[in-house]
Structures are given as structure tokens and as C-alpha cells.
Structure 1
Amino acid sequence: AAELSVVRSSLEEGGFKNPVVVHFGSDSEVLIRLQGQPESGLSDQVMTVLRVANPAVELRRIEFVGPQIGEELRDDGGLGMLAALAVVMLYVAIRFQYKFSIAAVCALVHDVIITLGFFSLFGVEFDLTVLAAVLAVIGYSLNDTIVVSDRIRENFRLLRVAEASEVINESLTQTLGRTIITSLTTLLVLFALFFIGGELIHNFSIALIVGVAVGTYSSIYVAANILLAMDISREDLMPTEKEGVEFDGLP
């Protein structure tokens, strides 16, 4: 079996900075990922370094992800996120009311921007696994937002004399315990992925950790406050009937 620590240290001693080394397939096969521009003879340089420790090393395959593929990833990923947000907005508008859909989408955009901003601020590589994590964050945050929205709608029906701010505050109080417990248990799994899952999914784990933390915050503070800013009211959810309308059809 190939020792990952030995391979990694050999590459670092050979002048390759921050190599990502993980098992690929079996324990005897290793995937090596290097950053930077491709150079002629790069594979020969890598093999020369590795054969110092193990002369029997074989090169099976080499791939290069260039700027054109990076641009395609950016464009396709952006379109995917826009499509997801559009479907979310349509679903929430049908399921609840258009003000809820605007609040939910604003909260999701807030989550995506902060997650991507974290990667940009700290210079973490953005790849397909991170894109998948961002889409997962959208789904997770939406689930939390829908739970809160459903409780707000129910409390508007139950608390008939309360103001909108009181209804929303009571709804957040009722769902706060569930939201925190769900987020904490999810974060425990994500931290396990980060520390035990290996280098290949580090960025995936980081994106989910940041996204879940921010999504928990946004479902409580962002979406609810946007509803208040749009003057959500009981009439938006339960339009009042005009007095005497039940007698209009009588002779």
C-alpha cells in the first residue's frame, strides 16, 4: 500500500507546493493534485521525485484543468444556482405567499454570497465539490426557512389579535430549539468529514460548515425581518370576505 505521508513529503521536498495526495481506487493507487500552470515534462519531474523513494512507481494517467474549463465551471455553476433560486421562489410563492418567496430567496442569496465570499477571502480553491456543497447549502437553508415560515403562517391563524411582529417573534421562539439542535447535529457530522474524510473533500466540508452556520442565522434573522419590512399581515395569508357576501345570491 502507498503511504500518503511519504508521497506528500517526497513531493514537498522535490519543490512541489501544497500537493493534494489521496488514495484513488485501491490502497496501492494514489491521486496527486498539483496547482499552477502546466509545464513541459511536469509528469517526468513528479515521477523522478517519487522514484527516489520507490523505483516501482508507475504513471497511469495525467489530466489538466485549464482556464477554459474553469470558466465553464463558473458559468454552468452560476446558471445552476440561478435555476435553483428560481424554482425555490416559485415553490414558496405557491406553497405560502409571494412575500414569503421573496424573503426565502433573499435569505438564500445571503447564504450563497457569504459562503462564496469566505472562499474568496481566504483563497480556498473552488471546484466541483464546492459547487455541489453550495447547492446543498441552498437546500438546507431553504428547509429551515420553510419550517419557520410554516409556523408563522399557523400563528397568524391562531393569534388573531397579535401584531405581525409579535406573531413572527413567537414563531421564531417556538422553532428556535429545533433549528439549533438540527444545525448542531449537522455540524458535528460535517466536522467529522473535515477532520477524518481526507484532503479530497476538505473544501466540500468547509463550504457546508460555513453554509450551514450562515443558513441557520439567515433562517432566523434574515428571512423573518424581510417579511416584517414588506409588512406581512394576516390578510396576506387569509383574505377577509366582505360582509354580506353570503347573502348576495339570495332572492
Structure 2
Amino acid sequence: MEIFNNSKTYDFMGKKTAFLSISGILIIASIFLLLTRGLNYGIDFVGGTIVQVKYENAAPIDKIREVLEGTKYAGSNVSEFGGPDEVTIRFTGSSSDVTNDISDEMNKILVPTGKFEIRKIDMVGAKVGEELRTKGIMALSMALLAMLIYIAVRFEWRFAVASIIGLIHDVIITLGLISLFKVDVNLDMIAAILTLVGYTVNDTIIVNDRIRESLQITKERDLDRLINDSVSRTLSRTILTSVATLFVVTTMLIFGGEIIYAFSFTMFAGIIIGTYSSIFVVSPFIKFLGFSTDSYRVKESQKEANRKEKEKLRAMYEQGRV
């Protein structure tokens, strides 16, 4: 199935200034949001307790906040969860008491607010939260490093650096959207970002592979034309893959509920941004980093000559002539 005509070459490189300007604006806006509003860390990373409460009717959020003010839970964050009849009560710090003790306390405190049921209580200690946050950052950093090494070995270091720039571009803008919409940052979100790293790199590798293939089967020296042709040939595949994945993620986002909202939102935003960057952002940086078609062909010719020489020596050795 083809969305775009594979025989037509689109001038992506001719519009690289416009696309990179858009990316620059989005990155600056995202950094501004991260510096001013920051991220809304969940209890996975900062520690604390979340009490999930379901009411028979619409939850009286203002009344809940009022009754909590006269207790040790004063200042707790009370917000709607999934629907108007369900709320979460979030407060920093976790109790050394068992969960049932907190449940009993909340059942007594919330009596004036109406008929309700405590559905779930989650607790994470501050030390555990800090450890999870550190490990999450380490996992993301190791994933980026592994991708850098893999692409540098398989292609060429300029391809690797351009791909990492694309990944950083995707992660910053995705985090900016997370900050804008106040999505909780938790372990599910880290899993989503790691998934997006693999997804985006896969798209980038396909384009890089087509560029390398074009270098081997054609004598074209103009890098802009090679990139335009390579991206155009893979455009239908890239868009179809992204749209198919978005169908699934959109379903999760709409019907998955609050439990997987952070994961679904991150995947939804990341797929759109990752698809955009693999088409419009990564390829221009290959040129900006000084990639030369002539130099690449000389290196590849030398590698091929060395390979043939090794095969010749091996054959002579096996025949007892060395």
C-alpha cells in the first residue's frame, strides 16, 4: 500500500531551514516549560501516599479538602481520577503504619463528605522514590549510549550523532508536552520513553540504510538529492507504520483510563514527534556534520579491498600456499 508516489522525490532538504526553525521553537518552548513549570513527579519518584476514593455520586472535592484541613493530611492534593465520582488524595511522605491504618483514618475523616469506598492505597518511601528516579535516568542514558554505539558501528559516526540529536529533540519536546498538560511522571512514562527511543531509532535506521544503499548503487554526489530520494522512498512505510501504531495508542489514551494515561499520552506525543524528526530533522544534521559522499565511497572501497585481500589470503592458507 502506497500513500505517497514512490517514483516521486520530495524536496525535504530544500525546506530544512523551515522545519529546523519549527523544531527550534518547540525545543525552546519545551525547555521554558520545564524550567518554569517543571514536571509533575508521581509518588514513584518523590515518595508519598495516594488514596483512591470512589463516591456513589459526584465527588465533593471542595468538601474533601475542607475536612482534610483540620487533620495531619492538611495540604493534600485532591484531584478527579477518571470520572467525576472518583478522586485521588495525594500527600507527601509515607506512613510507617500498615495500609489498613491509613484506610481506617480516611474512612473516619471523610464521613462528612458522603457515601464512598476506598478503592486503593499506594505508598512509596522517599528513599525508594529517589532510587527509582536515579535508575530511570540511568536506563534512559544507557539506551541512548547503546543506540549511539550501534549506529556508529553499522553506519558512520555522523549518522550516529545525527540520530542521537533526533532522539534528544524527541525527548525534550515530549517532556515539554508532559509539563504543559501536567501529566504525572512515573515508571510507566519512563517505559514509554524507552519504547519511543527504540521506535524512533528504527525509523531513522531505515532512512540511513536507504541512504547507504543509494551511495552503493548510484554515482550521485549531491548529498541533498540522495537524502531527498531516500526519505521519499521510505515515506509511505514510515507514515503507515506511525498511523497504525497511533490507532492502538489512541484507543489506549481514550479508553485506558487514568491508570495507563501517562504511558498512553507519552506514546501518543512521542510517535508523532518521532515520525516528524525521522523525516525532517535527522537527515539535515547528517549534512551539517560534514558527511561527504566521495569520502564515504573511498572508505567503503578500501573496506571492500581489504575484505577481498583477507579472503584471498585465507584461500591461499587453506590450499597450503602460505
Q: TM-score range by the shorter chain?
A: 0.7 to 0.9
When structure 1 is superposed on structure 2, of 130-139 and 39-48 the one drifting more is 39-48
Q: String of CA shifts for 1:60-88, please: whole Å, max 9, x gaps.
A: 97432354444323221111111001110
Q: Give the Cα separation in 1 of the matches to 2:57 and 2:213.
A: 57
Greater RCO (Cα-Cα under 8 Å, separation 6 or more): 2
Matches within 5 A, 1:109-188: 109-188=168-247
Is the 2:94–2:125 Cα contact (8 Å) retained in structure 1? no
Question: Which of structure 1's runs of 4+ aligned residues deviate more than 6 A?
Answer: none
Matches within 5 A, 1:18-37: 18-20=79-81, 33-37=88-92
How far did residue 5 of structure 1 move?
A: 6.5
How far did residue 101 of structure 1 move?
A: 0.9
Q: Give the Cα separation in 1 of the matches to 2:232 and 2:272.
A: 18
Is the 2:140–2:194 Cα contact (8 Å) retained in structure 1? yes
Residue aligned with 1:9, SS: coil
Matches within 5 A, 1:14-163: 14-15=63-64, 17-20=78-81, 33-37=88-92, 43-44=103-104, 46-48=106-108, 49=110, 52-53=114-115, 62-163=121-222
Q: Give the Cα separation in 2 of the matches to 1:7 and 1:224.
A: 55
Q: String of CA shifts for 1:179-216, please: whole Å, max 9, x gaps.
A: 11111111111110011111100111000011111100
Give the letter aligned to residue 81 of structure 2: V
Q: String of CA shifts for 1:91-145, please: whole Å, max 9, x gaps.
A: 1111111111111111111111111122123322100111111111101101100
- Computed over aligned residues only, the root mean square deviation of the Cα atoms, in angstroms, reads 3.1
When structure 1 is superposed on structure 2, of 181-190 and 227-236 the one drifting more is 227-236
Is the 2:94–2:123 Cα contact (8 Å) retained in structure 1? no
When structure 1 is superposed on structure 2, of 6-15 and 63-72 the one drifting more is 6-15
Is the 1:130–1:204 Cα contact (8 Å) retained in structure 2? yes
Which runs of 5 or more residues in structure 1 are unaligned? 23-30, 247-251
Matches within 5 A, 1:161-240: 161-234=220-293, 235-236=295-296, 238-239=298-299, 240=301
Give the letter aligned to residue 247 of structure 2: L
Which of 1, 6, 12 is matched with 2:61 structurally? Answer: 12
Aligned to 1:27: none
Distance 1:189 1:226, change over 3 A: same
Distance 1:201 1:229, change over 3 A: same
Residue aligned with 1:63, SS: strand
Distance 1:7 1:221, change over 3 A: farther
Q: Give the Cα separation in 1 of the matches to 2:60 and 2:191.
A: 29
Is the 1:8–1:21 Cα contact (8 Å) retained in structure 2? no
Distance 1:100 1:12, change over 3 A: same
Q: Give the Cα separation in 1 of the matches to 2:102 and 2:57.
A: 16
Q: Give the Cα separation in 2 of the matches to 1:69 and 1:7.
A: 35
When structure 1 is superposed on structure 2, of 138-147 and 228-237 the one drifting more is 228-237
Q: How many residues align?
A: 229
TM-score (norm 1): 0.79
Q: Give the Cα separation in 1 of the matches to 2:297 and 2:132.
A: 41
Q: Give the Cα separation in 2 of the matches to 1:144 and 1:176.
A: 10
* Structure with the largest fraction of strand: 2
Distance 1:172 1:39, change over 3 A: closer
Q: Give the Cα separation in 2 of the matches to 1:8 and 1:157.
A: 68
Give the letter aligned to residue 47 of structure 1: N
Work out the percentage of aligned pairs sharing the same amino acid.
34
